[in-house]
Chain A
Amino acid sequence: MLTRRIIRLIAAAAIGSSALLALPSLVAASCNPHRVDDNNYYWTYVGQGPGTSVGGVVSNIWNYAPYVPTGRFSYSWVMLTLNANYWAQIGNYEAVQGRSVYLQYQDGAPPAHFASFGPQPIGFSTYEVEAIGGLFSYYDAGTLVFTHSASWVPRVGQFSSEIPSLNTQMMGAINNAVDFLGNKMFYNGAWHNLAGSLTNTGSAYFGMSGTATSFATWDKACSN
């Protein structure tokens, strides 16, 4: 696993933040973790509230294709948020219908809104959300794909993989972890390296390693 991560890191650094890395030996394979359907969310994440408004989040994420049963999803994303009712996120999303670049947002009380686009290839691609002057902009591999206007101001950035039940594979596997590289947030007029601790809400089932600016997550039930 360490060797593969080193290869990825070198390749990602060489190709740049918008790179689409396709290494045949690292093609993701979905894996049924054979766990119960407990209907609880799980996250492997880093979050930071710098104490001021946040204007952007960006990460270079390894796109993986996990196992997802009907009605569930597995998701790696970056997010701007204020609290439980205000969020704007984009990332690599897998549902039983297939994989996609997916964004979801909510500007206060429900409803939430979503949009999805064709998936990025297995490999690294950047995901970014910006909020400038009430305009929320979503970037997929450096391309602006969606905008909406809202009056709320984000104060927190989150970077996470997420599942809504234990019967779903968390993004990544023991030998094919999902990396979040170059994690940054925009505040006080500049981009800053993400700071904060790694938090794993299901450490019995999921792995997590690294630092806030470069971390990896995976499902312990799956080998690759």
Chain B
Amino acid sequence: MLELKLRSKSTVSVGSLLFGVVALLVAIGIASVPHPGSTESQTSLGVGSVGETCTIAAQTASIGIALDETVAAGSNAIAARTNALAAEPGSSVVEERTGLARSGTIPIVNAHNVVIVRLAGVGAMPVTGPVGAGQVRMSTPSCVIAVYDADNGNKLVEFGTLP
């Protein structure tokens, strides 16, 4: 089989080759699009679905929050939303979910009824680094996601990127 393929390569036209390259690139593009339920789809937090631009996929990969959970803002979630907004002035709620799934690597994100908040107007934060790394570098997070426990309003985790 391998031999046949190699032979056919030597006889194809330039046009066929170009078509093949284009088809291959298209296939790679399709393969790189996150599929529902895949690890990649769990990393976006669905923020884009409400028109926000908050890109923290590299970090959320380990949080393991599933996007396919049913959005059901019950009374507990509403209470948590109120608490979250009070705790983070200027923030906005972009997702409300209940029964968050988890990957098993983040035991703390294990509560039912959790509200996800994108914080607006987050101030500059210092970047640390190893001893002797250099001067203080302040960075304003491009976005911050905070997860609150809707049962008690406590913040469970907050994470983001320092450009």
Contacts and interface: CB of A to CB of B under 8 A. Distances in A.
Interface in B106-162: 106-108, 123-136, 138-139, 141-142, 154-162
Interface string B98-109: 000000011110
Nearest to A105: B59
Contacts of B139: 110-112
A41 B160 contact: no
A183 interface: no
Contact of A71 (B123, B128, B162): B123
A79 B132 CA distance: 13
A18 to B, nearest CB: 14
Chain B interface mostly helix, strand, loop or mixed? Answer: loop
A84 B134 contact: yes
A162 interface: yes
Contacts of A104: 127-128, 162
B29 interface: no
B163 A114 contact: no
Contacts of B108: 117, 143, 145
Given A114-B125, A145-B107, A160 B158 contact: no
6 contacts: A45-B131, A71-B123, A83-B130, A112-B162, A145-B107, A199-B131
